[in-house]
Structure 1
Amino acid sequence: MNSKFIVCLFVSFLNPSTIFGEVERNIRHRTKRQGFSPDAFFEKFGYLEEKTGTGQQHSPADREKAIRNFQQLVGLPITGILDRKTVKKMQAPRCGNKDIYRDRDTASASKSSDIQLKPAEFKTLGLKWSKTEVTWKIIGYTRTNPLSRSEHRRAFINAFRKWSDVSPLTFREVVGGDADIIIDFKRYDHGDGSSFDGRSGTLAHAFFPGSSAISGDTHFDDDEKWTMDTPEGTNLEIVAAHEFGHALGLSHSNIPTALMAPYYQGYDKNYKLHDDDIRGIQSLYGAPSRTTRRPYTTRRPYTTRRPYTTRRPYTTRRPYTTRRPVQPTPPPQDICSLKFDTIFNARDGSLYATRRDQIYKFNRNGVGIQSGFPKKTRKVYKRAPKSAGAAVQDRYGRVYMFKGSKIFRYTNYELDQGYPKRILGKSNFFRKIQAALSWYDGRIYVFKDDKYSIWDERYTSPPPGYPRPISSFWGGIPVNVEAAIRWSGTTFFFKGANYFKFDDRYRRKYDGFPKPKAAPWLGCGRVVPK
């Protein structure tokens, strides 16, 4: 009789419905009593699919798996139960980047829905800079802490040095122009899709390397108490070193003592990289070279982020000779008279413009059209629409083309499965848009007639407060713009034969614009050799 009782008790303990019921009760309890939503946390950091605000619920099995994966990542006993220790860890100060990236979060992420956790195994997404000299620039300092500007620079220089000491990378601070890693201090919702939450909680976040405007950028929550050389507050240098790891291509480590572990480990004046951190960075860039490095803090005049981004009118060095057209590519039209329907970046750094069913590829320095172009747009982007109204690359390197009420989405020049899609919803604003811009804040803006709006593929109508008049934000930019691009760290708008250069910081066009686009963009009516 006693043995039967023991067997029944054992079976009851292993009953999945019993375990999952306990998980659900724990989650409801924590949400109600503490004002803390475990579901929102697990969604934010990649453990669960995002469903908050949709009315859909997560299954008990998915919740239990999320808890187990989190407990495994941070080194807690793996129970699958939302106990006090687990919740305490969830609420501790940490990095704002995800712990698990899915394929829609980044084009290079694993397609697995489960986190891959192995002892002492670093994680990367395969994203890296294609060079070893990385530039950085501070555009904002903390406004809520007494740190001096020199202390900011010291923190960032020391943080970069942690990575340069174990890799071939060098880091150069620039003052003017664009940089690979832009550093700023922000509060709450600051326009990049990753809001801060006030004191404690999320400390900072950084974007992975890539070709979009926000790639590599690193933001610190200005509500934190940032300090240097003291155990009080949050040490800026240690957090910066962690975030720069992300900006170089590293994901979070499941080694609790690694620098790339997601949680802030407190002040340690002798902190150093863990072997796991070193293996991670060297898997991307290799071991340090033996050649002598130049002094780390040397500043010199800014040079452009990529060698092909310099903007100046094209000048021929020797007499131009007309090339015989290569069939079946038609001979180029008078390029100087070209009007853009769209202008956009591709993930590999190429710059394209389209007009009707033709596509033009710019030379690597952004001036003049490459030989062999124009050609049919569908030769480059299969099934592309004729006369697209707008095109834009998002932060993940995907290219969107807009045509009437349809959206075409491309990854690495291939049309994604399920596309084109129709724009749903009753609002007409997202139909027949005239220009689209991926701005430095990580958002996509679309323009139509005299108005603009933030756009996201999930939107069926403009968000509250939109559309707004173009003049209310984009000072000096005309109505009915035809194309827009952020190129070499600067925003440009196009209309007719002219282009406008826009000052992102002061949100107004530069003096002296508009200017004719023929010479600086199109090479003055001739196809320029590669």
Structure 2
Amino acid sequence: MKKLTPLLTLALCTLLTPARAQATPFADGIDAAITGMRAFAGYAFFFKGNQYLKYNWDTDAVEPGYPAPIAGNWKGFPEAYTNGIDAAVNGQGNSTGFGYFFKGSGYIKYNWDKDRVEPGYPRPIAGNWKGLPPSFTSGIDAAVNGKTPFNGSVYLFKGNQYVRYNWIQDRVDPGFPQPIAQYWKGLPASFGNGIDEVLNGEGAYRAYAYFFKGNQYARYLWSQDRMDGSDTLPIAGNWRGF
């Protein structure tokens, strides 16, 4: 019997080796994330560059067929926004039912019922988000709505600082900005210098907020106002399908 040539051996090994799931660029970090509302409740949408993922909280995994391009799937997104966004968060109070997407010094307002951007956007952050300091009106890094006992406020992050925005009063609360490291208890030191995005969990994970930085994340427990554990974890292997 003839010995197999090295090239033939390699070919056979390739055919017989089970295929491994390919990690997406999202495992290296995300740009922005938002929880779906209305017909999209139960899902989270993660953005990276010009692509996005649809994550199912019930199955705890990315839906089949993703990543997909932002362009053509998020109706009314201006071209600049289809190439990437900086942060996203859902409105509350009079703004319930809308998602706000930030890019540089501007933002757009997305109507979940109509599944498209509202007319008249993008608009500048400055002058429309009252009380934000100039460093925040030039761009937002991350945003998340507070949960019990912090309902009614959205936290906006920029560099190593954050502000608390009151949805009912439609302006930043007095005394802000404040340093992230001082007030978000247990957050790893590297996260105190800046984060990429924060997302509230849903379903079995609704008690938590997830802080992302690079290829790592940390979990925050709202009811205890502190991190759930002291260590960060890699996105890869913990967010299935990333």
Do both share a fold (TM > 0.5)? yes
2:59 aligned with 1:362: no
| 1:435 maps to amino acid | A
Aligned equivalent of 2:99: 399
Question: Conserved in 2, the CA contact under 8 Å of 1:346 and 1:397?
Answer: no
Partners of 1:424 and 1:439 lie apart in 2 by 23
AA in 2 matched with 1:439: G
Cα RMSD after superposing both structures: 2.8
| TM-score computed with the length of structure 1 as normaliser | 0.34
Separation in structure 2 between the aligned mates of residue 341 and residue 376 of structure 1, nearest angstrom: 14
2-structure distance, mates of 1:341, 1:513: 21
- The TM-score, its normalising length taken from structure 2, stands at 0.72
Counterpart CA distance in 1 for 2:158 and 2:74 is: 24
In the TM superposition, residue 353 of structure 1 has moved relative to its aligned partner by 0.2
Partner of 2:182 in structure 1? 472
In structure 2, the CA distance between the partners of 1:469 and 1:459, relative to structure 1 (3 Å rule), is: farther
Q: Which gives a bigger RCO, structure 1 or 2 (Cα 8 Å, sep 6+)?
A: 2
Say whether 1:417 aligns with 2:119: yes
Alignment of 1:136-147 (within 5 A): none
The one-character-per-residue Cα deviations of 1:151-197 (angstroms, maximum 9, x if unpaired) are: xxxxxxxxxxxxxxxxxxxxxxxxxxxxxxxxxxxxxxxxxxxxxxx
Q: Is the 8 A contact 1:405 1:432 kept in 2?
A: yes
Cα distance, 1:382–1:447 mapped onto 2, change above 3 Å: same
Measured after TM superposition, the shift of residue 482 of structure 1 is 0.4
Q: 2:185, 2:73 → 1: CA distance?
A: 35
The CA deviation at 1:380 is 2.5
2:181 partner SS: helix
Equivalent residue in structure 2 for 1:427, among 120, 124, 134: 134
Distance 1:376 1:336, change over 3 A: closer
Q: 2: distance between equivalents of 1:459 and 1:432?
A: 22
Aligned match of 1:352: 45
* Among 27, 30, 38, the residue aligned to 1:340: 30
Give 1:481's match in structure 2, choosing from 195, 198, 202. Answer: 195
Provide closer, same or farther for how the CA distance between residues 334 and 414 of structure 1 changes in structure 2, counting only shifts above 3 A: closer
CA shift in 2, pair 1:321/1:433, >3 Å: same
CA deviation after TM superposition for structure 1 residue 436, in Å? 0.5
From the superposition, tell whether residues 508 and 516 of structure 1 become closer, same or farther in structure 2 (CA, over 3 Å). same
Cα offset, 1:462, TM superposition: 4.2
Query: Which amino acid in 1 is paired with 2:233?
Result: K
Which has the greater radius of gyration?
A: 1
For residues 165 and 75 of structure 2, the distance between their equivalents in structure 1, rounded to whole angstroms, comes to 24
1:408 aligns with 2:108: yes
Give the fraction of aligned pairs with identical amino acids, expressed as a percent.
24
2:165 and 2:71 mapped to 1: Cα distance? 25
Find the aligned partners of 2:178 and 2:125 in 1 and give their Cα distance: 20
Runs of 4+ in structure 1 over 4 Å off: 320-323, 456-462
2:157 is aligned, of 430, 443, 447, to 447
CA spacing shift, 1:518–1:365, aligned 2, 3 Å: farther
CA–CA distance in structure 2, aligned partners of residues 444 and 379 of structure 1: 29
- Taking the aligned partners of 1:408 and 1:456, their CA distance within structure 2 comes to 19
| Deviation sequence 1:345-379 (CA, Å, 0-9, x none) | 01021211000111111134363322211111133
Letter in 1 for 2:100: Y
Tell me by how many angstroms 1:458 deviates. 9.8
**How many Å separate the matches in 1 of 2:138 and 2:170?**
10
Whole-angstrom distance in 2 between the partners of 1:492 and 1:420: 27
Amino acid at match of 1:466: F
Distance verdict in 2 for CA 1:421–1:336, change over 3 Å: closer
2:3 maps to what in 1?
none
Judging changes above 3 Å, is the alpha-carbon distance between structure 1 residues 508 and 431 closer, same or farther for their aligned structure 2 residues?
Answer: same
Where 1:520 maps in the other structure, the secondary structure is coil
Task: Decide whether aligned partners of structure 1 residues 442 and 391 sit closer, same or farther in structure 2, where only a CA change above 3 A counts.
Answer: same
Bigger shift: residues 497-506 or 361-370 = 361-370
Tell me how far apart the structure 2 counterparts of residues 360 and 518 of structure 1 sit (CA, whole Å): 14
Deviation readout 1:373-393 (Å, 9 max, x if unpaired): 111113332243132110111
Q: CA shift at 1:503, angstroms?
A: 2.1
Give the aligned partner of residue 87 of structure 2. Answer: 390
- CA shift in 2, pair 1:346/1:364, >3 Å: same
Q: Distance in 2 between matches of 1:474 and 1:362?
A: 26
* CA deviation after TM superposition for structure 1 residue 456, in Å: 5.8
By percentage of residues, which structure has more strand? 2
Q: CA deviation at 1:322?
A: 7.8
SS in 2 for 1:481: coil
Structure 2 CA distance, aligned partners of 1:366 and 1:399?
Answer: 24
- Contact kept? 1:335, 1:522, Cα under 8 Å: no
